[in-house]
Amino acid sequence: MKGFEELEVWNMSRELCNEVWQIMLHTTLAKDFELKNQMNSASGSVMDNIAEGYERNGNREFIQFLSISKASCGELRSQLYRCLDRRHISQKQFDVIYNMTLTLGKKLGAFMSYLKKSERKGSKYD
């Protein structure tokens, strides 16, 4: 296994980041600097916290970082509403990214539950 790059949740978060980036490039969101920066930060946080937690090599720490990642999904969902309300994106664009955050949030929650029940506590304990 290469590392976090093989995790489904990390790959999904990477797709989410790319979707957010596309709306930044191709909509009026590009001119709403504060909201754009917040959305870029939140989507990046989802992806980066999965990677950082994985690299800690312990389930307890990994779960903590997955929790932060899941919270960033919620933050991004809230920002999407602001984006929609300000008419930076269409309802269709909103729906696509909103559903991505919901699905990813559920998968992160399930992954955290799995890790909490796992007998293996991480490679640093081997």
pLDDT tens digits, residue range 64-120?
Answer: 999 999 999 999 999 999 999 999 999 999 999 999 999 999 999 999 999 999 887
Q: Domain locations in the chain?
A: 4-117
pLDDT in tens, 116-125: 998 877 666 5
Contacts of 58 (CB under 8 A, 6+ apart): 121, 122, 123, 124, 125
Q: Return the CATH architecture of domain 4-117.
A: Up-down Bundle (1.20)
pLDDT value at residue 58: 86
**Residue 4: is its pLDDT beyond 60?**
yes
In degrees rounded to 5, what are phi and psi of residue 3? 145, -150
The pair of three-digit structure tokens given for residue 52, joined into one six-digit string: 């950082």
Listed residue (112, 100, 101) closest to 53, CA to CA: 112
pLDDT of residue 121: 74
Cα(28)–Cα(116) distance, rounded to whole angstroms? 42
CA distances from 58 to 19, 38, 46, 103, 107 (A): 30, 29, 19, 25, 19
> What is the pLDDT of the chain when averaged over all its residues?
94
Q: How far is it, in rounded angstroms, from Cα 94 to Cα 65?
A: 26
